[in-house]
Amino acid sequence: MANLRDIKRRITSVKSTQKITKAMKMVAASKLRRAQASILQARPYAFHMRDLVINITRCATLDAHPLLSHGNPDRIGIIVVNSDKGLCGGFNATIVNRALYAIRKDFAGKEVDLTVVGRKGLDTLKRHSVTIRQNFTGMSDEPLALSKSVISDIAADYALGKTGEVYCVYNEFKSAVQQNVTVERLLPFQPEEDDGENVNTLDYLYEPSQEAIFESLLLRNLETQMHRILLESTASEFGARMTAMDAATRNAGEVIDKLTLQYNRARQNDITTQLIEVISGAEAL
């Protein structure tokens, strides 16, 4: 049986780990509340802007703006949004696996370029035979500035006709314990499935001109959608970390209980051995 001192040292070590995981859970829960409030405020504006842009591009000419043109159909751009930090369960692994599945199955036979947002996904994707054209970090620091940097880079490629479609793989926030891996198309602006229902057939009057409106609106819409996606991912990350740290805290408690039971048994066995030695010595005298 293990030495009493070793068992006690292990109990102390696990208790220290439990304090850390409990503190990280509380920090994640605090950040989650703010992140959840941010995404709930951002969603209505982003969704309405997306619908507006889709409606006005239905009747627009392809030469009204470079972002309305169709580029190389054999080249796909994918933005993979994950986190800069770990200790959040399977948050990053599920996103990377979905992106790899899209490359091998959904876009098989096409050239795929990845833009990676977050350090953890970048470290994992480097070990696979994929093309990483650009990477960004610091998502939780300045999401608005980061969204502009990502879209500026992606839109420049698309406007030059190098990319035919642009997708984004990210975790959509549902609740603290549920995050859905989502593949969302950012470019082109047309809906993926147009069944003729709920289609806005209105035409628009543009002032000062259609080109000027598109010049301002299309890029702004992409930045807004990217900003929403980053907020979704941030809230999902904090929810996943809170859940993971809660599970780690409970697991540490179970380990402490088992070690405590083992320690008590070892101590009882040690006491019994000492009593037997004392009794045997007394009988020998």
What domains sit in the chain, N to C, each tagged with a CATH number?
4-21+244-284 (1.10.287.80), 23-242 (3.40.1380.10)
- pLDDT tens column, 116-160: 999 998 888 988 888 899 999 877 678 888 999 999 989 988 988
CB-based contacts of 24, cutoff 8 Å, min separation 6: 87, 241, 245
pTM: 0.87
Helix axes 210-284, 4-58, angle to 10 degrees: 170
| Order of strands across the sheet that contains 131-136 | 131-136, 111-117, 75-81, 165-175, 178-187
Cis peptide before 191 (omega within 30 of 0): no
User: Residues 180-201: what's their mean pLDDT?
Assistant: 71
Token pair of 153, please? 């880079």
Any idea what the Cα angle at residue 11 is, between residues 6 and 12, rounded to 5°?
100
Query: What is the full DSSP assignment across 150-211?
Result: HHHHHHHHHHTTS-SEEEEEEEEEEETTEEEEEEEEEES-S-S---SSS--------SS-HH
- pLDDT tens column, 38-52: 999 999 999 999 988
User: Residues 69-85: what's their mean pLDDT?
Assistant: 90
CA distance 246 to 165: 40
Report DSSP state, residue 89. T
- pLDDT tens column, 230-241: 999 999 999 999
- Is 173 within 8 Å of 235 (Cβ atoms)? yes
Give the residue carrying structure tokens 């509340």: 33
Strands 111-117 and 75-81: parallel
Give strand pairing partners of 81: 117
**Sign of the CA dihedral 15, 17, 20, 25?**
negative
Q: Per-residue pLDDT for 196 more than 60?
A: no
Q: What percent of the chain has pLDDT over 90?
A: 54
Phi/psi at 176 (5° precision): -65, -25
Q: Which of 62-76, 159-173, 239-253 is the least confident region? A: 62-76
Q: Which three-class secondary structure state does DSSP give residue 65? A: coil
CB-based contacts of 87, cutoff 8 Å, min separation 6: 24, 241, 244, 245
